Structure formats: C-alpha cells, structure tokens
Amino acid sequence: MPTETSLHELSAWRAAEMLRMGEISALELTRALLDRIAELEPKIHAYLTVTADTALAEAKHADALLAQARRDGADIAPLLGVPMTVKDVISTEGTVTTAGSRILEGFVPVYSATVIERLHAAGAHLLGKTNPDEFAMGSSTENSGYGVTYNPWDLTRVPGGSSGGSAAAMTADQGVFALGTDTGGSVRQPASFTNTVGLRPSYGRVSRWGVIAFASSLDQVGPMTKDVRDAALILNLIAGRDARDSTTVDLAVPDFVAGLGDVGGASLPLHGLRVGVPREYFVEGMAAGVESTTRAAIAHLESLGATVREVSLPHTEYALPTYYILAPAEASANLARYDGVKYGLRANVPGDVWDVTRATRGRGFGPEVKRRIMLGTYALSAGYYDAYYVKAQKARTLIKRDFDRAFDEVDVLVSATSPTPPFRVGAMIDDPLQMYLADVLTLAQPLAGIPAITLPAGFSDGLPVGMQIMARAFDEAKMLRVAYVYEQTTGWHKRKPMLNGAPAHSS
C-alpha cells in the first residue's frame, strides 16, 4: 500500500490496476490529488477550475462500483476511479469552460466533448480544467485571459503552450493524466518543456466534437501523460470514428498498449527499424544543449538496433509562414460566433446589436486573438485570397509530400521538439514573431496530418529537453513502440522537479 505522498505520483495505468485490485480507493486517490493541488497551485497556477466536490462524489461512486464488480467478478471499466485533468478548451457539461478567454467567462457547456464522454464511459471522472493560451493561440500560456502558469522545473519560466496548464499539472503530479489540444504544437511543446509525454494523433483519429475550435483543419486532442504507456492507453480510449465529427476516419483503432510490446530481454529491441533524421530540423538558433541532447537520443536509438540516416524535408522552412496564414484564416471564421449573444460575456452598452458585438469583442478578446483575427480576415479577403490563402494551401501540399517521400524510406522521423528549453516568463510576450518561432519544429506535422509524440530525452542546464518522433498518418502504433523502448531504456521520465524550497535540478 503506497503512502499518501506516492499516490499523486501514480500514472493512469498503474492507478487503474491498483484500483481494480483494491489496493487503493478512488476516494483516497482523488483526495491526495486535491491536497497536492491545494499545496502547489499558489506557485504553479495550472488549473482554472478544480471540480473538488463532484470529483469526490464521483470517486465515492466509483469505489462502490469497484467493490460490487469485485464481488460479482464482473468486468471493470479500464479507468474506473481515475481522475482526469482537461485543458479548458474542451467542453465539459455543467463545468465552466472558457478556452482561456474572457469572452467565455462563466460559460457552462450543455454537453461534453466526445473525448470526455468516452473517458467517462471508461470510468474516469473530472478533476479540473487547466489553463491554456486564449483559444489555444500561443506557446507559453501567457496569452491566457486568466493569468500565467509557471513551469514547475523553474518557476521563473513558462511551461510552454498552449496546453501549459495540463503539462505543468502532469510534471508536478497535480493530476493522473491530462488532455491537451494540438493545432501547431500545443500538446508537444509544453510536454517537452516539462519532462512529460505529449501525443498529437493523426488528423481524423480523434473527434473534435465539443472542442472549442481554433483552426479546424489542424486541431486535434491528444493525451498528456507521465509515461508512454499512458499515452497509448488514453489514445485508445479517445480514438475512433465519431458520427458527430465528419472529419474522423473510419479506421480500426489498434490496441496501442499491446503494441508497445516488451522491452525486457531483447538486447536490440529496435533491430530493423529505419529512423530518419530530417536535416532541416536542426534549425538556426537551436540551443546547443537541445542539439546535443537530440543527437545523443538518436545515438541511443542506434545503439538499440535502429538504422539511422539523414533525410531531407525540403519545404520545412515554409511550414511556419504557411501555418500562420492558414491557422489565423480558419480562426477568424471560427471566432465569428462570439458576438455577445450566443455564449458567455455580453458588454451591456447602449446602441444596436453591432454596438454590443463590437464592445463584447473589444473587451472579451485578448491582443493575440485580435491579431490573429485581423491576419486571418486579411488573408481571406477578396484581392488577397489567392496571394495568401490559396498559396498557403499549395505550400501545405508540398509539405505533406515531403513527409510522404520520407516515409517511403524510413519508418519514423526523429527530431527535437522545441529549438530551445523553456524560456523565461515575459521574455517573448511583446515579440509575437519570436514567440511563433517556438513552434518551428511542431507546425509541419499538423499541416501534413501526421502523428507525432514527444517524450523526455534529457536536460540542458537543469531544464527538460524533449525528443519528437513522427510517423506516417495513422501509424501511431509504430511511433509509440519506438517511444516506449526509448523511455524504458533511459528512464528520463522518472525525473521530477523539486518543488519544496530547493531549486529544480536534473542531476
């Protein structure tokens, strides 16, 4: 029986196992997490809402179901009694959902996203909603309308973004597993900034129903977890066709957990694997510690039996400008629904409906969101549409073809996840272009629709560095297997920030 201090450290698969065996109760697990949240939130601010009362009630209910199932020898839902941590851009019925925006202050959805429904059906219950950049636009969680989240590894630094709250909660053990959303890196970059695992599924693998839209052709929900097994487990539970999202693909979902295989005895567990290293991903301005950590991680894959070769993705340099045309264009259309009538905030000013809409948007949207709406409407306007939007769509096709060609030769591609370790709070907030560069390694995969995972790969000056593994569309299983072998033979994911007094350090 673990002590109270170790309960909050449990991964989802391990917690579920112990709950099934009756070694821990859902109530004590939920209580331990709520205590941890109460202790650390004043420093970290990962959560916008903690659903303590309902979480405790649902934990009690789960304990009753667990006891009964054990008595009857019945099947137990895979996550029964496990609490979940959810980015606040994913709708949760009855619980305030803001997308980090003042324009949705107090907005309570009347239904839950499909991913939430599926996790509920698997037995999980909500622990709370985490801080994002407003409408998931950003790379630091500083664009939230509700304050900054701090990186548990160094409280003067950002946790990345836009799923920074979920990432911080994972590394600080203020939750068991989390969901984030990734449009251009928002699951992967914060996971890499916090020594945790973040998986972006193939486009169409996971339903977007009930996920507050940023850029609909890019948005995907992904697991943010403490280890690779949890990423596989949670992906299994949320993936698959959803009749309410026509962009989900009707493909069988493999058993990703079973696909991780066994690392144990094999001396060369990656024998036969072809790893490609895209030369364009060692970008100018990459921090020396990130480059050396990435090269060491690649050498480790080679030592496990993989063959490693350099490949070229020649259109990589166009990913950033392409993304920053297409994502704002789609955002400008998606955000037109916030008019002061249908959801959340309404500025009560005299005048007609247009005056109310103008005032509501003026007050409710933050500066980055306004910037993107302006960029997007400009790119879509008559006269500029062909020059920007259509051109960007063509570039998107070229970027996708680069990956198609590369995957004819290799099984997975490997790179750094972020060109730098976590940066200081405030360092880039006044320089949007510099901030956009934080995602230079995570924009091309969403444009191409392919999956990618980041996992802990080491440290640079005591700060986490993540490695990114990419695979062909719908080949998450292969990517997860490589990640799992790397994780199990290195153990970087076991390092935790020191949060009580002493400064965080890697070794």
Q: Which residues are catalytic?
A: 87, 162, 186
Between residue 55 and residue 84, which ones bind ligand GLN under the rule CB under 6 A? none
In terms of CB distance, is 112 or 189 closer to ligand GLN? 189
Residue in 24, 172, 273, 327 binding ligand GLN, rule: CB under 6 A:
327
What is the β-pairing status of strands 125-130 and 307-311? unpaired
Sheet strand arrangement including 197-200: 47-50, 125-130, 83-87, 177-182, 220-225, 197-200, 452-460, 463-471, 412-416, 274-278, 307-311
For the CB of residue 294, give the shortest distance to ligand GLN in the complex, in Å: 20
Nearest CA to 169 among 42, 46, 55, 52?
Answer: 46
Q: Note whether 142 binds ligand GLN by CB under 6 A.
A: no
Measure the CA angle with vertex 436, ends 343 and 327; round to 5°: 45
In terms of CB distance, is 182 or 230 closer to ligand GLN? 182
Find out whether 127 and 55 touch, Cβ atoms under 8 Å.
yes
Find out whether 497 and 463 touch, Cβ atoms under 8 Å.
no
For the CB of residue 367, give the shortest distance to ligand GLN in the complex, in Å: 13
Q: Note whether 166 binds ligand GLN by CB under 6 A.
A: no
Q: Which residue has the tokens 């900054």?
A: 148
Residue in 123, 138, 152, 222 binding ligand GLN, rule: CB under 6 A:
138
Nearest CA to 145 among 162, 158, 128, 157?
Answer: 162
For the CB of residue 444, give the shortest distance to ligand GLN in the complex, in Å: 12
Find out whether 300 and 326 touch, Cβ atoms under 8 Å.
no
- Quote the CA–CA distance of 400 and 475 in Å, as a whole number: 15
Q: Note whether 441 binds ligand GLN by CB under 6 A.
A: no
In terms of CB distance, is 58 or 439 closer to ligand GLN? 439
Find out whether 122 and 75 touch, Cβ atoms under 8 Å.
no
- Quote the CA–CA distance of 481 and 28 in Å, as a whole number: 33
Q: Note whether 162 binds ligand GLN by CB under 6 A.
A: yes
In terms of CB distance, is 81 or 198 closer to ligand GLN? 198
**Closest residue to ligand GLN, based on beta-carbon distance:** 186
Q: Note whether 182 binds ligand GLN by CB under 6 A.
A: yes
In terms of CB distance, is 124 or 169 closer to ligand GLN? 169
Residue in 24, 40, 137, 304 binding ligand GLN, rule: CB under 6 A:
137
Q: Note whether 183 binds ligand GLN by CB under 6 A.
A: yes
- Enumerate binding residues for ligand GLN (CB under 6 A): 136-139, 162, 182-186, 214, 327, 439
